[in-house]
Amino acid sequence: MNRIPVEKIEKAKVYFSKTQVFTVAQLCLFLQCSIPSARVKIKQWQSYTSYNQNGRFYTLPQVPCFNKNGIWQYQNTFFSMHGNLRKTVVYLVRKSDTGLSGEQLSLLLCLPYRSFLHHFKNIPGIRREKMQGVFVYFSDDAVQHERQVKNRVIPVDRVVKPLTESETIVILVALIKHQAFTVEKLIALPDVQKNKISTESIKRFLEKHGLQKKTPAGRH
């Protein structure tokens, strides 16, 4: 196997830092090397692998600007600082205060949950339980699991505060922009989380005005 000149390797790193993402084929072409040699370089560079697009895209470690959940998007390709999709799902679920439903994970990962959640029924790190007709993913740590379930289940006798005028506007704008949203999708939206609007307050508002979309039984 021919040794790749150091100068060419450095030029490749500069070039692919500018293009932001690349494939094995593109790296092979640039370095004029075999696929195994290109994969060795990708590993040596500690490149991130996309968790969608069948993992065919890579990015150098200095390129991504990850959000608070460790996710970075380049066009239609997504990368996670936590590793592959499985590791990312486990991380997101375990850091959540209330566990995450399929729709909530879908919003965080920007992927249709039906395209990946069937792989996560029984994996170390998380556990799946059905609550009010919806599958919710919790940490498998006993203490964390108990806390998440407690936070997710709102006592019946809790006083539900009505939405303020500004909160009502936030919800109405979300409903218009994202038609037919469920309560779970609404509470996962950045604007709703930013305003710290409670789940029960949103649910009460939707029920009062006949705007709530019912979740089919058995939905993930």
Query: Where is the domain boundary, 128, 152, 176?
Result: 152
Q: Where are the beta strands (DSSP E) in the chain?
A: 48-49, 58-59, 71-74, 77-80, 100-101, 126-131, 134-139
Q: Is residue 158 part of a domain?
A: no
Last residue of a domain, one of 65, 80, 95: 80
Same domain, 135 and 190: no
- Per-residue pLDDT at 183: 78
Do 147 and 102 belong together in one domain? yes
Identify the domain boundary among 58, 80, 102.
80
Residue 172 lies in a domain: yes
pLDDT at 147 (0 to 100): 94
User: What is the mean pLDDT of the segment spanning 130-144?
Assistant: 91
Structural domain contains residue 47: yes
> How confident is the model at residue 72, as a pLDDT?
97
For the chain, percent of residues with pLDDT exceeding 70: 88
Domain that holds residue 76: 6-80
Clarify whether residues 27 and 73 are in a common domain. yes
Give me the mean pLDDT over the 24-48 stretch: 96
**Which pTM does this prediction carry?**
0.67
Q: What confidence category does residue 218 fall into, taking pLDDT thresholds of 50, 70 and 90?
A: very low
Tell me whether residue 160 is in a domain: no
46 and 76 part of one domain: yes
CA pair distance 206, 216, nearest whole angstrom: 17
pLDDT in tens, 58-100: 999 999 999 999 999 999 999 999 999 999 999 999 999 999 9
State whether 139 and 106 are in the same domain. yes
What is the average pLDDT value for the chain, to the nearest integer? 86
Token digits for 186?
């609404």
Total domains present in the chain: 3
For residue 63, the model assigns a pLDDT of 98
H/E stretch holding 211 reads none
